[in-house]
Structure 1
Amino acid sequence: MFDLIKTSWIPIRRRSEKTEIIRPSQIVENIETDPVVDFDWPRVDFQIASIEFLIGLLATAFPPATERKWRTLWRTPPTPEDLEAAFEPMRKAFNLDGSGPRFLQDFEPLSNGSEPIERLLFEAPGEQTIKKNMDLLNHRNRVQRMGRPAAAIALYTMQSWAPSGGKGNRTGLRGGGPLITFVTPSDHDALWHRCWANVPLGTPPSEADLPKVFPWLVPTLTSEKNLEILPDLNAHPLQAWWGMPRRIRFNFEEQPNARCDITDEPDDVQATGWCQRPYGANYNYWAPRHPLTPTYRPGKDKELLFQHPQPGGIRYRHWLGLVVPTETSFEAPAIRTWINDRQPDLDDGDTPRPMDRFFAGGADFDNMKLRSFAESHFPLPRAATPEDQLLVDDMARRLVQASTLVADTLRSTVRAALFSAGATVKLDASLFTCLREEFWNRTEPAFFEHLTQYSQNPTAAQDQTCHDWLADLRRVALDLFDEYAPATPDTDIQECIQIGNGRRWLISTLYGHSKDGKQLFEFLKQPLPPKAPKKNGTNHAS
């Protein structure tokens, strides 16, 4: 059997740029001299899924009981033998093939619903696309077989992020295509520290609890009769890492000297297809139990839901809800724990640690269709004390609120400049989407520069930070307005009037004279400009 605990199957890269294939416990091997620094899959979704897999494995089998224990293992990582011993009680859940329970596969052998192996990949064309001969951008049969390592991580990716898949094919425990966030510490490049930074406190499950952690160890709790999988009722909370919404069973074939179509690595046993049945596990009420995914509340008295990537990618405008909570959106538990509990304890006296970084990404789906894969890396400015960190969070909130208001005003004023009042032009048209995205692009470096400088002296830098940010917003907004709504010598007089009116509207907001302008100045705690004197119709001699 292909044992995912004892078998070397994970491609990695070390600091020396040397590449290897390792087993999970080897992430701490040679950590002082030549540590593992990253995975080496040829696909970005496999890279991110592997982070989740390792964090989940550590959170399940090797969790720290206290923050003190966590800090001890941060400074003195375990040995490969320590991890081997911790993973050993879980091994029966990590066999990919064989006749018994299989990793993330249905407990029962399946014989119907046969699918080619490439349909385990999100971008692969579906049955209807192929029937209509419409697979123009993503052609069929590019992946006809997978070695067992690639098959294992492809299966984990599918079960963890599963989108809508037709009648009875359930989405992942966090819904289809969850947003994934985690901290990347800047003072350690070892993969161990990146994983350990995001592992929550806990205790390993008992032997009796393993079937509720790893649902493939027992017959599937199917959803034909509307059965839901609920934490602490018919599932262990640790199943957050090991959800199995799809009833899948691999078809393996012995193929001596064969190579995987994804990794080009040799494997004498290849996954060539998979069988499936509908109505796998239906997960409900799991937010906010997954440590790596932020949540939001869609309305008053509504249950929390997991956040998902949206078109346009992830920018600093999403800072609220990903790093700083709002009334309706909340950062992932791992991010909250790092900022509040772990990050402050790692500073060593008067020598501050380098600035950590923050990852946010995931697959952006429109039902079953993969639109894109979002991936963003941001600096994570921090203050010296918890009290100062609250000031930094409040400043971030103000800067984002101000830039959002200006972006909306810019979009509206450009629309008014280019189209007549009665024109049926939606504000989400591609022109205005590009305009907003360019606004976020141009202001993002300044946002992090201001927030970083402010975090170093938050009690004294508020006025200057807000003043400088307002100046940046004015400069970028006016530049973009002139680029998207230019007035040239050839422009019609009526069009020039429209452009002029739109620009005056934008200026009135940027300088605090309109209703939105007053809101902008309130966000940034700036004094409103003096009101212009009223005209009384009387001419005064000079």
Structure 2
Amino acid sequence: MFNLLTSAWVPVLRRSGHRACIRPAELTEYLDSDPVIALDWPRADFRIAGLEFLVGLFATAAAPAGHRAWRDGWYDPPPPAALDAAFAPFAHAFSLDGDGPRFLQDREDLVSDAEPIERLLIEAPGASTIRQNTDLLVRRGRVAGLGRASAAMALYTFQSWAPAGGAGNRTGLRGGGPMVTLVQPPGRPSLWHQIWANVPDSPEPVEPEDHSRIFPWLAPTLTSESGRAVSPEANAHPLQCWWGMPRRIRLNFADLDAPAPCDLTGTPDSVRVTGWRQRPRGANYAGWGDIHPLTPSYQVKAGAEVLPLHPQPGGVGYRHWLGLVLCSPDSLRRPAPAVTRWRDVREGVAEGGAARILAAGYDMDNMKARAFVESEMPLPAAPDADTRAALDVLATRLVLSANQVAGLLRSAVRFALFSAGASVKLDWELLSVTREKLWEGTEARFYALILARPPDASGQWLHHLRDVALHIFDEAAPLLPENGSAAPRISRARRGLLFALAGFGKEGTELFVTLELVAPTPKARKKGKAA
């Protein structure tokens, strides 16, 4: 049997540049001489899901009982033998093949037509796309067979982030393609420290009777007929957030006469995974919106259901600071618990500068993967509560004001390019691009200001916003001779944008209030006319 706790299957990179496959318990091996520093999967989604898998494994089998225990693990990591002992009671849940329960696979030997193994890859074209011959950018037939290590990672990625899959095929516990945020400690951390930074505390150890409520493949599937849902505490342990199984899947294994290379990694294996079978009506997860330690959450309005955050077009940047790093002012957007825990309790143990947040996930359009987004941003440390509060106030002020200027810029470009009666949606591509350019053009200055926190940060920020916004406007609506008929409209739009950025009018006043700057006083009117 291929067991994910006892087999060496996790591809890693050591600080020396040496590549190897290790057991999860060997993560702490050679920490002083040649530590593991990264996962070495050839796909970005496998790498992020692999980090999730390891954090979830430690959260389930070796979680610290409190901050003191966590700090001890940071400074004095457990050796591989201790981790093997901690993982041993859970090994029966991590066999990928064999006659007993199979990792993340339905207990029944499902009767269904086999699907190509590459359809476990979230971006792979589906049956409808292939029938219509529209797989133009992501072609079919790239992966015919996988080794068991790659198949295990593909299965975990798919079950954890499962997108919509047609009638009865459920999305993942956090919906299709959730946002994943991981704290990256400062300096050159080992992979152990990257994982341990995100493992939540758990004062109550897992009992054997909890296993079937944590690992759903150890029990008959709670299918979704008659509206049945799987909810934390009601019929599932909260730790199932790491091990959700929304799809009823069985992998197909073929024994080989001689080891053959995996189509993804090239690693030889004597068993090849060639396909999988699926049946509909798997677990319907409900009420898990703010349970997962690595996923931010939000509400549409106060009192509404809490939902997990998902990546959107445009990627991840500082505009998402409110919700990824700290709560939005209305508390409707909240960072992942791992990020909050690091900032509140754990950041004092790390040395070497600012930590970072790694944010990643699939930007999904229902069943279609539009992109896999991945970004890192600084996570400034603060020596005390007062400094932390001042940092958060400044960051909030800068993000909100940039959003206001992005709206002003988009409206100005719309007014400049289209006549008053034109019907143009504000999310039209050109108008959306102007907003994206503003965020991109101001990102570096945002990080510089929150790291340095100068006394006149608001004034510097406004000056930078004004320069970038006017430059983008002039690119989008240039005042050229061939635009003769539109020249008056372009001039008025630019003048209106400039006035608002100078603090005049309703929008300008609101911008200055956000930045806590004193807005200019309009000149007095004389004899009914503007002075």
Shift of 1:185: 0.2
The question of whether the paired residues in 1 share the 8 Å contact of 2:524 and 2:530 is answered with: no
- Is this contact kept in 2: 1:145–1:270, CA < 8 A? yes
Partner of residue 475 from structure 2, selected from 464, 467, 483: 483
User: Which stretch of structure 1 is more off in the superposition, 244-253 or 180-189?
Assistant: 180-189
Q: Which residue is 2:232 aligned to?
A: 231
Q: Tell me the SS of whatever aligns to 2:38.
A: strand
Which of 503, 510, 534 is residue 494 of structure 2 equivalent to? 503
Stretches (4+) displaced over 6 A: 537-540
Q: How does 1:267-346 map to 2 (within 5 A)?
A: 267-326=269-328, 327-344=331-348, 346=349
Task: Give 1:139 deviation, angstroms.
Answer: 1.6
Is this contact kept in 2: 1:254–1:268, CA < 8 A?
yes
Once the two structures are superposed, the pairs formed by residues 120-139 of structure 1 within 5 Å of their partners are: 120-139=120-139
User: How much has 1:424 moved relative to structure 2?
Assistant: 1.6
Moved more, 49-58 or 16-25: 16-25
In 1, the alpha carbon distance for the partners of 2:99 and 2:375 equals 41
1:457 is aligned to none
> 5+ unaligned residues in a row in structure 1: which ranges?
455-460
Deviation at 1:387, TM superposition (A): 2.1
Q: In the aligned structure 1, how far is the partner of 2:244 from the partner of 2:472?
A: 46
Alpha-carbon displacement from aligned partner over 1:153-202 (angstroms, at most 9, x marks no partner): 00000000001111111111111110000100013420000000000001
Q: Deviation per CA, 1:121-154, whole angstroms, max 9, x where unpaired?
A: 1111111111122222222111110100000000
Residues 539 and 418 of structure 1: CA distance in aligned 2, closer, same or farther (over 3 Å): closer
Partner of 2:514: 523
Structure 2 counterpart of 1:217: 218
Shift of 1:539: 13
Contact 1:382 / 1:392 at 8 angstroms: preserved in 2?
no
Change (3 A) 1:537 1:73: closer
Equivalent in the alignment of 1:436 = 435
| Deviation, structure 1 residue 114 | 2.1
Q: Tell whether the 8 Å contact from 1:324 to 1:330 is kept in structure 2 after alignment.
A: yes
The residue matched to 2:432 in structure 1 has which SS? helix
C-alpha distance in 2 between matches for 1:9 and 1:80:
15
Deviations 1:83-139 (A, max 9, x none): 111000000000000111000000111121421101001111111111122222222
- Report the AA paired with residue 493 of structure 2: G
CA apart distance, 1:466: 0.6
- What per-residue deviation string (whole Å, max 9, x for no partner) do you get for residues 261-303 of structure 1? 1111101101100011101111111121100000001123212
1:42 matches 2:34:
no
Contact residue 113 and residue 277 of structure 1 kept, 8 A = no
Deviation, 1:491, is: 2.7
Q: Secondary structure at the match of 1:254?
A: strand
Q: Helix, strand or coil: the match of 2:261?
A: coil
Letter in structure 2 aligned against 1:251:
N
Deviation readout 1:282-325 (Å, 9 max, x if unpaired): 11111211000000011232121100000111110010011110
Helix, strand or coil at the partner of 1:392: helix
Quick one: distance in 1 between partners of 2:293 and 2:98? 32
| 1:425 corresponds to 2:414 | no
Deviation (angstroms), 1:257: 2.5
Q: Please give the residue correspondences for 1:127-206 in structure 2 after superposition, counting only pairs within 5 Å.
A: 127-202=127-202, 203-206=204-207
* C-alpha distance in 2 between matches for 1:41 and 1:63: 25
Letter in 1 for 2:458: C
Once the two structures are TM-superposed, the CA of residue 205 in structure 1 deviates from its matched residue by: 1.1
Equivalent residue letter for 1:298: V
CA distance in 1, matches of 2:182, 2:41: 19
Residue of structure 2 in register with 1:383 after alignment: 382
Q: Contact 1:340–1:386 (CA<8 Å) still a contact in 2?
A: no
Retained in 1: the 8 A contact 2:37–2:191?
yes
Once residues 66 and 318 of structure 1 are traced to their aligned partners in structure 2, the CA distance between those partners, rounded to angstroms, is 30
TM-score, normalised to structure 2's length? 0.97
Aligned position for 1:405 = 404
Instruction: Name the amino acid aligned to 2:253.
Output: F
The CA RMSD over aligned residues, in Å, is 1.4
The answer (yes or no) to whether the contact 1:287–1:306 under 8 Å persists in 2 is yes
Structure 2 gaps of 5+ residues are: none
Structure 1, residues 431-462: CA drift from partner, whole Å, max 9, x if none?
112211111111000000000011xxxxxx44
Three-state SS of the structure 2 residue aligned to 1:509 is helix
Q: Distance in 1 between matches of 2:446 and 2:145?
A: 46
For 1:99, the aligned partner's letter is D
How many Å apart are 1:538 and its aligned residue?
9.2
What residue is the counterpart of 1:469 in the other structure?
Answer: 461
CA distance in structure 2 between the partners assigned to 1:469 and 1:168 by the alignment: 50
After superposition, the Cα gap between the structure-2 partners of 1:532 and 1:88, relative to the gap in structure 1 and judged at 3 Å, is: same
Report the equivalent of 1:362. 361
